[in-house]
Every structure is written in structure tokens, then in C-alpha cells.
Amino acid sequence: MSDGRISGDAPFAIAVTIEAAGWPDEARLEALIAQAASVAVDLADLEAHPGSELSVVFTDDAAIRVLNRDYRGKDKATNVLSFPLDVDEDGIAGPLIGDIILARETLEREAGEQGVTFEAHLTHLIVHGVLHLFGYDHETDDDAEEMEGREIAILAALGIADPYGMDPVRE
């Protein structure tokens, strides 16, 4: 439907693709991504090579289900997938940072279940995806605690409540 490129306040170029109906308008999505990426980079001390780019795809449950099945072996829709591309031995990402793919229906359902706005949940998942692209994961309890702590701090700086129900800064 739409394919744009933004930089704005973001610390790297961001390619935006809207593949499915029902998403907020492109300008709003671009603003959310730029703000979330900027705060994530600052607070998590993430580094990208100059001129780097990440891609954010806004799709639906059907499309993300295929990706989740093909790349993760899970034949079901999910809220967000992240595909990191380039990170060097010093932990600096780029020039192609990676792809974040988001599914609208799942985000809407989860936002309702959690009693948060769609935009707050979307911002959380953008932050979550950015952290994945820069090497964070939640495969072990320690890794999950570290990643969630970063998410909580970043979201607090964006004025969004702790999605995990913990203290604002987790030690």
C-alpha cells in the first residue's frame, strides 16, 4: 500500500512499508518509529554505523503467520518479528540493521486485553523489535530480565507504563 523512507529524529534511516489496511496513517507511524528508535538508541546505548537503515513492515496476521511458520517453525500469528542483518564484532549494527514486522490484528487484540492504547502497545513492540535487532533477546531468564528492564526504562522515557507490571527501573 505504501512504501516510504524517513529519517527525522531517528538515529538512522528507516524504511516504512504498509502492506495491510487498518494501520494509522503513514505520518503517525513514522513519528512513532522515529521517537521510539531514538530513545531506544540513547537509553540502551545502541550503536549503528553512519548511513545505516532499518526496515519496518506493517502487515496483518495472515502474512506474519507465514513468516513465523517459515522462519521460526511456529504456525501461528504473532505480534512482532525481528530479523537482524548486520552487527559487527564490536556490536555496532549496520549498514543494514534489519527488519521489524508487525501484525495489526494481534496488536489490536493484545492492546485490548492489556487495557492499553493501540499506539502504546505498538510503541512497545517497536522498542522490543529494535532491541532484538541490536542483539538483545529473551531466550534465558537473565536475558529476558535484561531486555525487559531496558524496555521498561525506554517506555518510561516515552511516557508509557511498564507493560510487564514491574518497577520503572529493574535492577
pLDDT tens for the chain, residues 1 to 171: 333 433 446 788 999 999 999 999 999 999 999 999 999 999 999 999 899 999 999 999 999 999 999 999 999 999 999 999 988 888 889 999 999 999 999 999 999 999 999 999 999 999 999 999 998 988 888 988 999 999 999 999 999 999 988 544 333
Collapsing DSSP to helix, strand or coil, 34 comes out as helix
CA gap 17, 3 in Å, rounded: 4
Write down the pTM of the prediction: 0.89
Q: What is the pLDDT of residue 32?
A: 94
